[in-house]
Amino acid sequence: SARLKQASDIDHHVEVNASKKIADAKLAKDFQAVLKEFQKAQRLAAERETAYTPFVPQAVLPSSYTASEVGVNSDKTLEQRALLVVS
């Protein structure tokens, strides 16, 4: 990003041949497109991460947990399991 800005500044302040200006403009455009795509993927990953609820089998949990702590009887847990199956 810093090199891209430096190339742009040089193109504006120094007499540079047209092919270098075109190449730098294409590089800037490509960089913006890739950055936008990366940000979209990052946003999507964050959304999925917040929506994800890991399923922990009861056998894995210590016996000191009560049913309410585990959420075995919770309607919300059943709904979350259904959503995981759908996705």
Instruction: State yes or no: pLDDT of 71 exceeds 90.
Output: no
pLDDT at 79: 61
24: domain range?
A: 1-51
* pTM for this predicted structure: 0.48
Is the predicted pLDDT of residue 26 greater than 70, yes or no?
Answer: yes
Q: How far is the CA of 53 from the CAs of 13, 32, 59, in angstroms?
A: 54, 34, 17
3-state secondary structure of 54: coil
Same structural domain, 21 and 3: yes
Average pLDDT over residues 25-30: 92
* Number of domains the chain contains: 2
Residues 42, 60, single domain; the answer is: no
